[in-house]
Amino acid sequence: MKRDTTQFPLLKFRWKLSFLALVIVALAVASRAPLAGAQNQNPSASTVDGSGSAAIVYPETKRDDVVDDYFGTKVPDPYRWLEGDAGVVPEVAAWVEAENKVTFAYLEKIPFRQKIKERLTQLYNYPKYSAPMRRDDYFFYTKNDGLQNQNVWYRQKSLDGTPEVLLDPNKLSADGTTRLGAVALSKDGKYFAYGVSKGGSDWNDVYVLDTATKQLQPDHIEWLKSSGLAWQGNGFYYSRYPAPEKGHELTAKNENHQVYYHKTGTAQSADQLVYEDPANPQRFHTVGTSDDERFAFLSISERGKGKKGNAIFYRDVARVDSKFSPIVAEIGDDSYGVVDNVGDKFLIFTDHKAPNGRVFLFDPKNPDEKNWKDVIPEKPEPLDNATTVGGKLFVSYLKDVAAHAYVYSLDGKLENEITLPGLGTVSGFGGRSDDKFTFYTFTTFNFPPTIYKYDIATKKSTLFRQPEIPGFKSTNFEMSQVFYTSKDGTRVPMFLVHKKGIKLDGNNPTLLYGYGGFNITTAPNFSSLRLALLEQGFVYASANMRGGGEYGEKWHEAGTKLKKQNVFDDFIAAAEYLINKKYTSPSRLAIQGGSNGGLLVGAVSNQRPELFKAVVEQAGVMDMLRFHKFTIGWNWIADYGSSANEAEFQALYAYSPIHNVKAGVSYPATLITTADHDDRVVPAHNFKYAAALQAAQAGSSPILIRIDTKSGHGASSTTKAIEQTADIYSFLMWNLGVNPN
């Protein structure tokens, strides 16, 4: 299974199984009154901001005398009260209202803000498709006509048949903020199970649709999170948490992950409990099924105790009263995922004794590790994806972050390479064992996601569907890959994209992006919205720091726990490279990151504020001492470590963005974004960071926080995505001195 970089990661699965679904549901936020008597309490505030406008008067943010003791180190936490849910705590709701009032007043004064929004709307307004998946005679796929808030599910008989709407999520809410989360088609295509997320939350409610009649079935399942839907027979497996306390649905710690089996047409109360482990409440339990649905596979992980890997078990449902038997019984730092079964044996991906990944054949009759037979041995490049389709094994590797795809026989014989259009990202190669062809999607920074059909017998790729973006010509932009040296001598790759013919005079507005964590690869990708920056002469730089998956598990491990500072050093070195090579200068350089990337830009802004003119920090993990106390945050201990461990506390405290803001420092212009329904990285992280940064700012640049409603860890609709992007780009251009054409 391909890694999902659109959301804060839990585990890196490469499974063919239905395990991708960390998306969305929640509550509306109560109305908020402005904070009475709000006034500027920052004695060092200047009389003008970075744009030459009148000084920003920030809301008053109360400070409490809260102090925690970590191994003898006293750590103040004056804004602890901002950890309250704004939908429940009136004092927090009032602060949110007051901050938004200041932020939107600033944004509304940017003269070209509406112009940017209109251009973004134009750039996004083109049809977008997913690759089709086959069930019997029908093909299922999603399409967005252009500006629809949610993608619509279609089916059609044969590839040239007439499309018919299967499910239109845009009809699920008037404002378009209700979207689909986990989805799964039954093997025969008769039923479509889908999760519904409201307002951006990660909670899912699941429903079942009859694909022939389009009639909703009586099924309704609640409180799914960190779950896929895996069909087996006339029902499916799912994972859920016990219902949280009313009023704390978006902030309460999620514990006791349970696996259930649901039979279609029955009530949730009748669902069979398949697995739980209340003695270990911070474990993930997920179940997937093989393509032929003969086997169920249970994965158990314990990232809350700092373990990066998982245990894995199987059950043969063809056998009466079959129990889960271990493939790997103990949880450690090695990852395992079933690619598929070959008869009664299993193809399994692992990084056990292979940091770059390998695929081996597991025989349940001879389960000892000494009997594991390598099918795809480890290579110098990291194995990024492995699937089976049509009796073949499709694998992709990363070579200096660029994808390369190959076809093998099921016993590991290389048959051919699939030639890709260039340096970029490939995804797909999904399908069933009797498929004659499969689909894959290729994209890169100046190449929109394009779907190809691959014929398995002839080994030929043909263009299936290519986007048409009005006015876009890839030849107007050029992309390159460079390598630079980090602080400790490590060679780090970075992609650059910009208009052709730019001058290296140090005067180009530049946006540097990074993530650097959780074994997630920051892959070359296309964004039509990003064109709005490139058209105005921006250089877009994407750095591939340690902590990600660009060079396998060793690269990932080098940016975790006590080594997390390596990630920040890599990012700072990327900025210095861009300056030294005359792409830009500190007065024209901005940085952006979200989630773990929000932590990144917050940390480097604290460490090198003079290096950047502007910062966009989105939904970042900013309180590194308390992140594990909210919702699913304990899961990140495997990458970050924990403040409950003395050595890890010292490392966390040294870079935690909230705890390293210093009074009297001139910080870059900073726009912080979060949302009321973000129950993955709770908004309190960014509330506290904004309050600390506003109080400390000694310079003239603005410190703003934009708090969206009915949205979550990512924008909950196309409308909200365009609105947020328009505000971010307007903020960047305004503070970098760019006057759009």
Nearest CA to 667 out of 644, 690, 692, 693 is that of 693
Helix 90-108 and helix 684-696, axial crossing angle in degrees, nearest 10 = 60
- Chain center to CA of 40: 36
* Residue 101, φ and ψ in degrees, nearest 5: -60, -45
SS3 679: coil
SS3 326: strand
Nearest CA to 382 out of 557, 575, 615 is that of 557
Place of tokens 């249970």: 298
Beta bridge partner(s), residue 347: 340, 361
Of 262, 285, 352, 713, the active-site residue reads: 713
Of 197, 299, 427, 595, the active-site residue reads: 595
Handedness of CA 266, 270, 274, 279 (dihedral sign): positive
- The torsion region of residue 552 among left (phi > 0), alpha (psi -120 to 50) and beta comes to left
Cβ–Cβ < 8 Å for 255, 241: yes
Handedness of CA 306, 547, 444, 680 (dihedral sign): positive
Cβ–Cβ < 8 Å for 268, 290: no
Interacting residues of 51 by C-beta distance below 8 A, sequence separation 6+: 110, 702, 734, 735
Cβ–Cβ < 8 Å for 91, 79: no
Q: Beta strand pairing status for 295-301 and 310-316?
A: antiparallel
Residue 595 is among the residues annotated as catalytic for this protein: yes
Q: Beta strand pairing status for 373-376 and 358-362?
A: antiparallel
Place of tokens 């063809």: 318
621: exposed, middle or buried (C-beta count within 10 Å: 0-12, 13-18, 19+)? buried
Sheet holding 295-301, edge to edge: 284-289, 295-301, 310-316, 325-328
Residue 713 is among the residues annotated as catalytic for this protein: yes
The number of C-alpha atoms within 13 Å of 430 and in the hemisphere containing its C-beta is 20
Q: What are the catalytic residues?
A: 595, 713
